[in-house]
Amino acid sequence: MSVELAAWAGLDALLARFRPETPYGRAAKARGAVLASREALERRWDLTDEALALLADLDDDRVRRDRIRHHLGRLPRLPGEARGAFDEVELFQLKKFLFNHAALLALLPERLKGRFGLEPLPATLLELLGRGRQGDETFHVADAYDPGLAEVRRALRENDAAALRLREAREEALRARFGFAFEGRAFLLVPRERLGEPADSAGLLDVEPWDALRLCVRPRPGAEALRLADERAALLARERQLEARVLEALSVPLREALPLLAAQAEAIESLDLALAGAVLARENGLTRPVLGDGPVRVEAGRHLPTEELCAALGTPYAPLDATFEPGPTVLFGSNMGGKTVVLKTLAFLQLAAQSGLFVPARRFTTRLFETIHYVGEGRAPEEERGLSGFGFEIRRFAEAHADFGGETLALFDEFARTTSSREAEALLSAILEELAASPRAVVLFSTHFRGVKRLPGVRYLRMGGLDRARLDLDAAAGEDLAARIRRIDTLMRYSLEPDLPGERRSDAIAVARLLGLAPALARRAEELLDDGE
């Protein structure tokens, strides 16, 4: 999915509410793949329907629903590759996966498990990682794995106890001799006069100058302490050898089971995405798209960012009802008339659908598009920064043009607006003439250029525009800008209507008047417009 296209369409407003629980689902969301396979899309939507049915069943069992969510959220990412031996952290991840996978399966109905391909994993694997006194989601190389390991650790405990007794005795002797209270500390900083003559501390303390007034003193270990330290180092080396042997032995069956675990991770990803999609659909009134081969039909389609903006501003929002036939469509309308929102709504719905999500519409019947293009206002990539606005549009049009022979959705917002109107109208007319012979592409041009030629095979629509029956140009006098904008939104009809040949209606001057243009200027502009006709 093009980041630029998704950002322009405002898809982030929907994706921000789409919250998979597992690392697998979150990674799939981050990839942002647009599905170009009918089979893959239908399966994703089928699974979302299954998840919706599960959520409906769980409406009266919130504890079970929350436990399902809990165990999904606890599933970790599996180790990436089958190496000779897993380390302790990787075995912990594997055990955590096995435990939460088993707990999740115990909560799901059999039919649902079958639909997602969720199957029990060998119970022996979880038992293998649970020897000794271990929690359900913890792992360490316990003594129970090797009798020799238990013996080495017993010897280490005895060594530590002997070393502690020896250290305490040495510290007590130093306290009695010098008054130094080490209390387990490795060193002390003491005034120089506290130590006395250097000969008094020989063999008992290691002494180093610290500054002009203090000395750093450490207890000097005796022969027995050094022997215990050497013994401990040897025991630790032996412990590491035995732990490595245990890890290697544990890794064999787990390494062999990795393909099974990976397959279950894929099934978990599908379940996670379906449940997240089902929650999204329930909370936002989304419906399942319908795939066909003909026109794209939108019934009460909602562009969520615009809907939310209208709610924040206190202005009415009009859902989109429209049909877009294969081939080119031209959409006329003045600025602030809603042309861009129509394009954004179509892009929003299509991108959501091909991302495998349900959509905010009463019904959305569409096609599977192999490519989706948008040409309009936006930030140019670094390599295209030297181009003018018109040059940037032409470059993007050339990219889209190469795909017009296939299943393509292309949206052009005020195409060629930065060149002269006559040149723009000629260019648009030539493009429309060619596109009329490309029945597999659905292409929509929004424009305010009225001189575009009327051609067979091209559909011409217009925005409903200002409701002239309720229009009072003097009513906005004295209002601030926010109030004027709300007034325009209230008066504007955002429906799509056929644009018949010979019709010339523009709301631009009326909109300018409502925004504060002086009445005399507005009247003169109307006169000049009439003269030009």
Q: Is the pLDDT of residue 382 over 50?
A: no
| Residue 480, both tokens | 């601030």
Q: Give pLDDT tens digits for 276-304.
A: 999 999 999 999 999 998 899 999 999 99
Say what the pLDDT of residue 502 is.
Answer: 65
Q: 325 in helix, strand or coil?
A: coil
Contact 332, 447 (CB under 8 A): yes
Rounded Cα–Cα distance for residues 350 and 354 (Å) = 6
Report the alpha-carbon distance of residue 512 to residue 462 in Å, rounded.
Answer: 19
374 vs 526, more confident? 374
CA–CA separation, 200 and 410 (whole Å): 93
Question: CB burial class (10 A; 0-12, 13-18, 19+) of residue 295?
Answer: middle
| Residues in CB range of 81: below 8 A, 6 or more apart | none
- Give the strand pairing for 459-466 and 492-498: antiparallel
pLDDT the model gives residue 503: 62
Cβ pair 171, 183 in contact under 8 A: yes
Q: Answer whether residue 522 shows pLDDT above 80.
A: no
**What contacts 148, CB < 8 A, 6 or more positions away?**
242
Tens digit of pLDDT for each residue in 468-499? 667 667 777 777 777 777 777 676 667 788 88
Percent of the chain with pLDDT over 70: 92
Residue with the bigger pLDDT between 192 and 236: it is 236
CA dihedral 106, 107, 109, 110 (to 10 degrees): -20
User: Which has the higher per-residue pLDDT, 103 or 398?
Assistant: 103
- Residues 16-43, mean pLDDT to the nearest whole number: 93
> Which residue's structure tokens are 């601030």?
480
Contacts of 82 (CB under 8 A, 6+ apart): 255, 258
Tally the C-alpha atoms within 13 A of residue 17's C-alpha that lie toward its C-beta.
Answer: 21
Residues 212-236: what's their mean pLDDT? 94
CB 55 within 8 A of CB 282: yes
Q: Is 213 exposed, middle or buried (0-12, 13-18, 19+ CB in 10 A)?
A: exposed
Q: Are 378 and 411 in contact (CB under 8 A)?
A: no
Confidence of residue 387 (pLDDT cuts 50, 70, 90): low
**What stretches of 403-533 adopt beta strand conformation (E)?**
408-413, 441-447, 459-466, 492-498
Per-residue DSSP letter, 287: B
Sheet holding 408-413, edge to edge: 371-375, 408-413, 441-447, 327-332, 459-466, 492-498
User: What pLDDT score does 414 carry?
Assistant: 85
For 351-400, what is the HEC assignment? Answer: HHHHCCCCECCCEEEECCCCEEEEECCCCCCHHHCCCCHHHHHHHHHHHH
What does the alpha-carbon distance between residue 256 and residue 229 come to, in Å, rounded to a whole number? Answer: 41
Give me the pLDDT at residue 48, please: 97
Residue 383 confidence (pLDDT): 45
- Residue 515, burial from CB neighbour count under 10 angstroms (0-12, 13-18, 19+): middle
Length of the chain: 533
Res. 379: pLDDT tops 60: no
Which residues lie below 8 Å from residue 180, measured CB to CB, with a gap of 6+?
A: 174, 188, 190, 194, 217
Kindly tell me if the per-residue pLDDT of 362 is higher than 50. yes
Contacts of 119 (CB under 8 A, 6+ apart): 113, 264, 267
Whether the per-residue pLDDT at 347 is higher than 90: the answer is yes
Tell me the CA distances in angstroms from 350 to 11, 35, 270, 342, 372, one per residue in order. 10, 11, 21, 12, 9
| Between 506 and 136, the higher pLDDT residue | 136
Residue-wise pLDDT tens digits, 405-454: 888 999 998 887 777 778 888 888 988 988 887 778 899 999 888 888 99
Distance set, CA 181 to CA 18, 85, 126, 174, 205 (Å): 61, 47, 50, 8, 13
226 CB-contact burial (10 Å; exposed 0-12 / middle 13-18 / buried 19+): exposed
d(CA 88, CA 395): 54
Torsion from C-alpha of 147, 150, 156, 158, nearest 10 degrees: -100
3-class DSSP state of 208? strand
80 pLDDT exceeds 80? no
Nearest CA among 4, 95, 1 for reference residue 378: 4
Q: Rounded CA gap, 439 and 499, in Å?
A: 21
User: Phi-psi category of 314—alpha, beta or left, where left has phi over 0 and alpha has psi -120 to 50?
Assistant: left
Token readout for 78 is 């599996």
Name the residue with higher pLDDT: 213 or 502. 213
Signed CA dihedral, 507, 510, 515, 516: sign only: positive
Note the pLDDT tens digit of each residue in 229-255. 999 999 999 999 999 999 999 999 999
Give, in order, the Cα–Cα distances in Å from 471 to each of 134, 135, 334, 479, 488.
76, 72, 16, 16, 9
Mean pLDDT over all residues of the chain?
88
